[in-house]
Structures are given as C-alpha cells and as structure tokens.
Amino acid sequence: MTAARALDGIRVVDLTRALAGPYATMMLADIGADVIKVEPPGGDDSRGWLPFTGDADSGDPGISAYFLSANRGKRSVTLDLKTEEGAEALRRLCADADVLVENYRPGLLKRLGLDPAELREANPRLVTLSITGFGSGGPDGHRPGFDQIAQAEAGLMSLTGAVDGEPTRVGLPISDLLAGMFGAFGVMAALAERERTGRGQPVETSLLASVAAVHSFQGAGWLAAGKAPGRTGNRHPSIAPYGTFRCRDADIVIAVGSESLWKRFAAAVGLDPDRHDIATNSARVRHVDALEAEVNALLTDRDADEVLKILDERGIPAGRIRSVPEVWEWDQVRHLGLAHTLRHPVLGDVEVPGGALQYGGSGAASDVPPPLLGQHQADLDDPWRTRNGADGCGTDEDPPGASR
C-alpha cells in the first residue's frame, strides 16, 4: 500500500503559468496535493518554450522541457476566464478547493469578476496565494514581473559577475524559483493555521520580495553596517581563501571557512598559517590578491584529482566545477534520487529534476507526469476524481480527508 503523503486530500486550483507559480504548485503536488492546472485555451506559455525533447528538423519538436520541469503531478483543464462560462466553472472549482494559486497582475482577476477575496468569502476555508513581480500596491505594484527584471531591480545582478566585469544575471531563473518556494512555504503555513482557526487566509509574495529576502549578509551589511556590497566574482566577500583556484588540468573551488580549516589547508598546500599577512581571516581578506596568486602557484603543477583527494582527506571543503550533464551523471546525484523518472503519455519514460526533500514517514514524490493540455477536461464534471496511475486518469473516489 502506498504511504500517505502530507497533503493527500488537499485540492489546489492552479491558475499560474511560466515558472514561479507552477514551481510552487509542483512542490505541493509532490507532497500529495491534487493540483488542477487551469490553463487558457492556448495553454501555459511555457508549453512553447525551448528546449524541446524532439528534433525540430524532423518535424517533431516533441514536448517543452521547460514545461516538463515545473508541472509534474498535476491535472490540466482549459477555461477561458474572460467568458462567464469559464469564470463560473472556476468559481465552482474554488468553492470546494483548499488552495487557489495565481500569478496574474494585481487587480486583473478582480476585473474578471474573480476577486480572490470574494472567492474566500464564498469558501471561508480557502487559502489564496498570489505571486506577482513587485508586490501589490505601492508605486511599482502594477508592473509585470519577469525573472531577469527582478534579478536586476532587486540587486542580484549588481552582486553577480567578475569584479571588473558587467552586472550578470544568475544562470538559473532564481527569482522565479525563490518566489515559488516561498509561496509554497506560505501555503503550508496558512494550511497549518487553518487547522486551528478553520479559516483560510490570503498569502502574497513577489519576485522582488523573494530576492530581497535572500540578500542575507549582503543586505544586512548595508542596512545594519552601511557597507554597500559589490561584485566579487568567484571570491567570497568575507572569507579567504574561498573561491576558484587553478590546478594543472582544471579549476577547482575551495572554501576555507574557519581558522581550524585554514591551519589544515595551509599545511596541505605548504603555507605557513601563522605568517603575519595571512594569520587571520581579516588579514587574508585584505591580502586576497596576493594570497590567491600564491595558492595558485602551489597548485598549478598538480592535477585536480590529486588536490581534491588531499583536501578531502583533511576535511577541507573543495570540489570540481561540473557542467550540467556532469551533474546528472554524478553517482552522488543518482544515489540521492534527484533525477525523477516519469511515464509520459507521449514521451514514455522521461527524466526530470526531482524535489530536494526526502521524507522518512511520507510517500515518495509524485510520479504523475506533467499533463497534456486539457488532458483532464472531463474531470470538470466531477473534480474529485483523483489521479490513478502514471497516465493521470481518475477514479470516482474522494481522496482521504477531503474537505468538500
């Protein structure tokens, strides 16, 4: 018998598209939520985004890998919310749902007659999550949100890139992913509170808020200490040596994050740890150019594997710089089950990145593939039909603990 998962019996109505919202609802689906993805007649825009699994030259582009990355475990229906018929169908879904997630511009759903506040009045147990670009209200709340715009406006690009280079975006759509993760966390907190109060509540986050919230010591350095941070390339702004170093055949990364690690590292590479110009972390940060040049000179005639073996034996954090293909071929990644195999109705068995959490007492993450557009349209007549098997077909049974 399959072990129960944390959100079994929780129904989520998902109005989101692209990445931030779909990532949030996929996290909820992974732990058991029945996520009904409500798409416009043309589908989520990301269904048309590169890369595709097929070969366009052969006339079969396949399925968007972008869409596959954020939509497993969901059912898909299409509704035109600009029509009264579509709007009424959404109201019926929300009347019995536990969670509504949307990432429209602030005020758009209200103009369509689907104000989340009114949906909560009709269903007081409903938790609503709104993900926007710049938050609701304020001088910029009306603006649309896209990942790179948020990376720029929220200061992340100013911190990323070479010291003397231009501001650079992070290679992943990190503001979208952070907003999705914060959003899923907010939904879980609101559901936990609902257990005490019996009432749902609105939850909001934004791409801007999500990046600002993870400024961490860089933000606190400015707010609390008045120190404006800048780009440091692969160096750590507060710790040395910490960054990229050259071996004979490859660059590696080394993180000497404490004084005890420094003494072990210095002994391993042939430095005097008590030399006055490098004896303390503050001194090493002040002399980081000279220190990095000295370490590089000591490592440049050694192969990366040799250096990494020596550092590992001494408990010094270090690693190689892997490409994306190398990551997914890495034995450790496979051991952790981070590549998730799904049985797709068109592609057959297909791998996608899995979730980062493992639960000792709950069931495994969803093995239901991302849905085809409108694949579960018939379920609108009986939305409590639950998924049964890898093809996403339903049964007529209510999920355990369902709140009708």
| Per-position DSSP letters for 342-360, written without gaps between them | EEETTTEEEEEE--S---S
pLDDT one-digit tens code per residue, 287-338? 999 999 999 999 999 999 999 999 999 999 999 999 999 999 999 999 999 9
Would the pLDDT of 53 be above 50? yes
Q: What is the mean pLDDT of the chain?
A: 92
Residue 399 pLDDT > 60:
no
Domain boundaries, the chain: 11-214+333-395, 242-246+251-320
For the segment 196-223, what is each residue's pLDDT rounded down to a tens digit? Answer: 999 999 999 999 999 999 999 999 999 9
Average pLDDT score over residue span 138-145:
93
Quickly list DSSP for 113-152: T--HHHHHHHSTT-EEEEEESS-SSSTTTTS---HHHHHH
Give the residue among 310, 174, 314, 318 at the shortest CA–CA distance from 245: 318
pLDDT band at 403 (very low <50, low <70, confident <90, very high): very low
Backbone phi and psi for residue 16, each to the nearest 5 degrees, phi listed first = -90, 160
Instruction: Tell me whether the omega of the peptide bond preceding residue 317 falls within 30 degrees of 0, making it cis.
Output: no
Give the pLDDT confidence score for residue 400 in this predicted structure.
31
Residue 168's CB: how many other CB atoms inside 10 A?
Answer: 16
Rounded distance, CA 228 to CA 220, Å?
Answer: 10
* Residue 46 · residue 67 · CB < 8 Å: yes
Asked if 270 and 296 touch (Cβ cutoff 8 Å), the reply is no
Model pLDDT, residue 236: 95
State the amino acid at position 14 in one-letter form.
D
What is the pLDDT, as a whole number, of residue 404? 26
- Residue pointed to by tokens 């290679």: 171
The pLDDT value given to residue 383: 79
Q: Among residues 30, 34, 44, 176, which one is catalytic?
A: 176
Instruction: Give the residue-averaged pLDDT of 129-143.
Output: 96
Q: Which pair of tokens denotes residue 37?
A: 């993805």
Give the pLDDT confidence of 340-356 residue by residue, as tens digits. Answer: 999 999 999 999 999 99
Integer-rounded Cα radius of gyration of the chain: 25
Confidence check: pLDDT of 63 > 60: yes
Q: Does domain 242-246+251-320 have CATH number 3.30.1540.10?
A: yes
Return the pLDDT at 1: 57
Q: Residue with structure tokens 């209510």?
A: 398
Q: What per-residue confidence (pLDDT) applies to 56?
A: 67
Q: Quote the DSSP letter at residue 64.
A: B
123 pLDDT band (50/70/90 cuts)? very high
Sorted by sequence, the CB contacts under 8 Å of residue 10 that are 6+ apart come out as 28, 32, 33, 34, 98, 99, 191
> pLDDT at residue 282 above 50?
yes
- Whether 397 shows a pLDDT value over 80: the answer reads no
The pTM for the full model equals 0.91
Reply yes or no on whether 176 is catalytic: yes
Which helix (H) or strand (E) is 320 found in, with range?
strand 318-320
Q: Which of 340, 332, 388 has the alpha carbon at shortest distance from 364?
A: 340
Can you tell me the distance from the alpha carbon of 65 to that of 53, in angstroms, rounded to the nearest whole number? 6
Q: What is the pLDDT of residue 370?
A: 95
pLDDT bracket for residue 367 (50, 70, 90): confident
CATH architecture of 11-214+333-395: 3-Layer(aba) Sandwich (3.40)
Which pLDDT value is given to residue 389?
Answer: 38
Shortest CA distance to 265 belongs to which of 297, 313, 319? 313
